[in-house]
């Protein structure tokens, strides 16, 4: 299923076509494709080139790791994410490696890496759904994540599936029109709350 964004201004097709599907096909993601997604994340920009991200990756071929990842999701997300062939936890390193000082950009940089992963996935015909709905404390315990690292997102990856495979409530959300705030609400200049003339029409 394709669901291109209704644009106000032109963007690359990979950005237009990216969306967070919950319906996944019963088809594995090839290892070579999955590693290309992670390679894309590897080349994201980061503060001081710290690269403060790590990914805990589980495929259905590794039943134990997959079950562990599924177990940290909230019940609602687990109900549909269980059909994704790949589940990932994105983890951010909270301190700079060189001197141990706090890295205030760690979450931002890990998000940037995951955004590139998502664009590469879209290029390869995959759907990616990122989730805040998981238990970070349980994830730290289950995966023995060090104290100075923080799990910040769960990610489901797979080939898009049939929306009719979802329960009715999720199916309705799957086929609903995509919406976003207009640029005039968040692009400012001069002072806070003053809409930039760049986006004013």
Tokens, residue 58: 């589980």
Question: What whole-number percentage of the chain has pLDDT above 70?
Answer: 100
The beta strands (E) that lie in the chain are given as 53-59, 86-93, 127-131, 149-158
* Helix runs in 18-167, H state only: 31-42, 63-71, 75-81, 106-123, 136-143
Domains in the chain: boundaries: 13-185
**How many C-beta atoms lie closer than 10 Å to residue 67's C-beta?**
14
Q: Please check whether residue 85 is in contact with residue 59, taking contact to mean a CB–CB distance below 8 angstroms.
A: yes
Superfamily of domain 13-185: NADH Oxidase (3.40.109.10)
Average pLDDT over residues 110-139: 98
pLDDT for residue 200 = 83
Q: Which helix (H) or strand (E) holds 173?
A: helix 168-175
Predicted TM-score of the model (pTM):
0.95
pLDDT for residue 40 = 98
pLDDT, tens digit (0-9, with 9 covering 90-100), for 12-50 = 999 999 999 999 999 999 999 999 999 999 999 999 999
pLDDT for residue 88 = 98
- The answer, yes or no, to whether residue 195 has pLDDT greater than 70, is yes
Q: How high does pLDDT run on average in the chain?
A: 96
């Amino acid at each position: 299923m394709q669901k291109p964004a209704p644009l106000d201004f032109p963007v690359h097709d990979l950005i237009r076509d990216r969306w967070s599907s919950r319906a996944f096909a019963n088809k594995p993601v090839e290892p070579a494709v999955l590693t290309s997604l992670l390679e894309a994340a590897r080349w994201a920009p980061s503060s001081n080139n710290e690269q403060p991200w790590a990914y805990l990756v589980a495929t259905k071929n590794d039943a134990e790791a997959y079950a562990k990842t599924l177990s940290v999701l909230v019940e609602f997300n687990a109900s549909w994410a269980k059909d994704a062939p790949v589940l990932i936890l994105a983890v951010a390193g909270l301190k700079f490696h060189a001197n141990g000082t706090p890295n205030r950009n760690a979450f931002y940089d890990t998000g940037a890496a995951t955004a590139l992963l998502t664009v590469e996935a879209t290029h390869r015909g995959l759907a990616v759904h990122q989730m805040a709905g998981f238990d970070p404390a349980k994830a730290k315990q289950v995966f023995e994540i060090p104290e100075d690292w923080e799990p910040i997102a769960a990610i489901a990856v797979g080939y898009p599936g049939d929306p009719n495979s979802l329960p009715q409530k999720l199916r309705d959300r799957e086929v609903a029109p995509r919406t976003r705030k207009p640029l005039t609400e968040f692009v400012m200049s001069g002072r806070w709350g003053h809409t930039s003339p760049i986006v004013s029409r």
